[in-house]
Amino acid sequence: MRRIGATVCVAATLAAAVPVVSAETYVIGDSLTRQTYTEGDGWHVDARDGRALQTAVPRIIGRALLHPAAAIVVALGSNDVSRRSITMVADLAAIVASSAGIAEVQGTHCLVVTTVKVKGVTRFYAGGKWSTWAQRWNRAVWSSGAHVAHWRPLAEAHPRWFLGDGLHLTPAGERAYDRLLRRSVEEHCPAPPEEPVDVIPSTPSATSPPERSAPPPDDSPASSGGSVVPGTGGSVVPGTVDAVGPVVDHIADTVAQTGTALVRSADVLGTRR
């Protein structure tokens, strides 16, 4: 638990030195996501067949720190269930802790996590124990503190949304999955307010000459090697890029070590979902 607390502190500290939250939604997913999405509509989609949260935690945290978005949708879980991952509780705790640290500073960062289908999936997955492990994943999601995109009831009510394995999607299922994720983002993750645009007079004042631009200060990016942070009016954060890498590595190392300490708590999660 101390390591989770450290993750929150590091994320909150670094968030003050990274770009402001954009209006973009970042979706990280597996084959279901890859089936469903192409780029567009303000959503950045990072999908790969076979991806599990177990192996994606450093990528999610790194993305959240380096390119903070208004919403991060973690559309994962099926492969964690299939692999019977014993670290799912700790993995979810790590991304929620990092998200909370960023939101504390930025104010608009939002995390959404999907539940998974429990019934109707072929016994090929999870060694015939899909239902048991899927319920564990769903309980962990509901207890994590993240916003939930509840796929399970919709999925189980519409068997025609699925191919023969009961897991992968037909075109109708892809459209339904998209609707669920978009509705969840709209409900839980309001877009950050737009920055005000300064109105510049079309003609200079007749009573005063136009002002000349001041020369760049000595601590400008060109002279100091700092980084200009987008969306901050040209504010300079010296060494931003150089500073971020080691911190992301530190967080990834912290996350990797939380599993043993937290996985024993899996059985004390809430009631069956």
Q: What is the pLDDT of residues 75-121, one digit of tens each?
A: 999 999 999 999 999 999 999 998 888 777 665 578 999 999 999 99
Mean pLDDT of the chain: 73
pTM beyond 0.85: the answer is: no
Return d(Cα 265, Cα 89) in angstroms, integer.
8
| Domain spans, the chain | 2-193+244-265
The pLDDT of residue 228: 34
Q: Which residue has the higher pLDDT, 36 or 127?
A: 36
Question: CB within 8 A of 157, min separation 6: which ones?
Answer: none
Return d(Cα 36, Cα 146) in angstroms, integer.
22
CB 78 within 8 A of CB 137: no
The amino acid sitting at 16 is A
CB 43 within 8 A of CB 27: yes
CB 109 within 8 A of CB 64: yes
- The Cα-based distances of 174 to 31, 32, 43, 88, 130 in angstroms read 11, 8, 16, 25, 21
Query: Using the 8-state DSSP alphabet, how is residue 197 labeled?
Result: P
What tokens does 153 get?
């009831």
pLDDT band (50, 70, 90) for residue 66: confident
CATH class of 2-193+244-265: alpha beta
